[in-house]
Amino acid sequence: MRRSIPASPFTVTAIRAWQPSTPGSPDDWRTSLGQIIVEVELDSGVTGLGVGGGGAASIHIIDNVLRAELTHKEFHTPLEIHENLCEFTSFYGLNGIVPMAISGIDLAIWDAYAKSHNMTVLGILNPATEINASCAMYQTVIDAAGAKLAFEQGMAAVKLHLGQFGSDPSVNRIEELIQRTRDAVGLECELMLDAFGNWNVYTTRNVADRICKYDIAWIEEPLLPQEIAAYTELCRDCPIPIAGGEHEYLINGFRRLIDAHAHDVYQPDINWCGGLSTLISIYELANDHEVRVCPHRGSEAFALPAIMALDPNPLAESAREWFTAIAPLTHVERGRAVCNQGMGFGIDLAVTG
Ligand SMILES: [Mg+2]
């Protein structure tokens, strides 16, 4: 399934990274270790933009380690640079902040590289995909009214965020909410749940046994990401598919999860997991193992081309409303995400003020 990526020699002459202000972002690590913007410049003068995570720590890694490794050397494709960065950081960067930094660089390189070839990233990944095509979406909601509204706006699916029920939830109350939501959206709308890492195997099984009659497409992150053995145990006999992976990194991390059958649906985050190069490899691996991929917040500008070009069952999660430093935001038409038309990822820095 590997696409043929056009190869031509180039060097990276400059890398700049900074953390934009994100008013309204969650009061947690996603702000204190916030999203960063990376800008690269190639020897042709073409520039590219990417978004990674990890805040000031990630910027420190780019400024002190990655820039010197990357600049003024000849490469031929973004995949080659990515491989080089992963190898170079493998003694200390298999998880978390280093892959978040690599993600920002990888996406900026892909953006510049596609622009150099006067192509969209979508066109590079799959020339057969129509640039005007749109992608089915799902919206994360907290109640039945939100679900009904999203479905009426054209969303193919909704995901109920169950964080409100805590780590020792009332199964009765969860069932009431799901029943109300299913009644509100009908049987056409796919319905998922997100437990936000709050539960254990016992709780998840209890909830799943009670609610599987409502046709639930997946339960997302019922356990913490590192509880791989418990995920394997849960997946073995849970009546509802289990989703996770938004906090997993690089292709080896996903290979370990898939080998362990830790999830049924894999949700890489392109801005954290290692960038587009990693997401392409995840799609290839998932294809070989016949498991589903549904990227985290997939309707944002970076993941959407990969979903539209590579996913046999394309479904893009709604975007973070608080991340507005990159423009344009993905255009949503009747509940479907429309890919940016410009070259590369078709993005620019948002004009502030
Ligand atoms: Mg999630």
Q: What is the pLDDT of residue 3?
A: 62
- Candidates 46, 39, 60; CA nearest to 108 is 39
Measured N-to-C along each axis, helices 201-211 and 171-185 cross at an angle, to the nearest 10 degrees, of 40
CA 242 – ligand 1 centroid, Å: 12
Report CA(269)–ligand 1 centroid distance (Å): 10
Strands 331-333 and 336-338: antiparallel
- What is the tens place of the pLDDT at every residue in 20-69? 999 899 999 989 999 999 999 999 999 999 999 999 999 999 999 999 99
Q: Nearest CA to 165 among 214, 198, 143, 139?
A: 198
What is the mean predicted confidence (pLDDT) over 247-266? Answer: 98
The runs of H, that is alpha helices, within the chain are: 29-32, 55-61, 67-70, 78-88, 97-116, 121-125, 144-152, 171-185, 201-211, 228-237, 250-259, 276-289, 304-310
Cβ neighbors of 55 (< 8 A, separation 6 or more) are: 19, 32, 33, 34, 35, 36
With 70 as the cut, is the pLDDT of residue 2 above it? no
Share of the chain above pLDDT 90, in %: 93
Residue 304 CA to ligand 1 center (angstroms) comes to 17
Using DSSP's 3-state secondary structure scheme, residue 66 falls into: helix
> 248 C-alpha to center of ligand 1: Å?
12
254 Cβ contact list (under 8 Å, min separation 6):
245, 248, 266, 268, 273, 278, 281, 282, 285
pLDDT at residue 5, rounded to an integer: 81
Q: Indicate if the pLDDT at residue 73 is higher than 90.
A: yes
Ligand 1 center from residue 196 Cα (angstroms): 6
End-to-end CA distance of the chain: 44
pLDDT (average), residues 207-233: 98
C-beta atoms surrounding 92 within 10 Å: 10
Neighbours of 30 (CB within 10 A): 16
CATH topology of domain 10-123: Enolase-like; domain 1 (3.30.390)
The pair of structure tokens assigned to 61 is 């890694």
CB 162 within 8 A of CB 178: no
pLDDT recorded at residue 1: 44
Say how many Å lie between the CA of residue 43 and the centre of ligand 1.
39
The residue assigned the tokens 């193919």 is 156
Q: What architecture (CATH level 2) is domain 124-349?
A: Alpha-Beta Barrel (3.20)
Mean pLDDT across 107-118: 97
Q: How far apart are CA 292 and CA 278, in angstroms?
A: 16
**How far apart are the CA of 59 and the centre of ligand 1, in A?**
25
Domain parsing of the chain, residue ranges: 10-123, 124-349
Q: What is the mean pLDDT of residues 82-94?
A: 96
- Cα 65 from Cα 69, distance rounded (Å): 7
Q: If you average pLDDT over every residue of the chain, what do you get?
A: 96
Q: How far is CA 182 from the centre of its chain?
A: 26
Average pLDDT over residues 247-271: 98
CA of 177 to the centre of ligand 1 (A): 19
Q: Which of 8, 10, 84, 12 is nearest to 41 (CA)?
A: 12
State the pLDDT at residue 69. 95
How many angstroms does the Cα of residue 296 sit away from the middle of ligand 1? 7
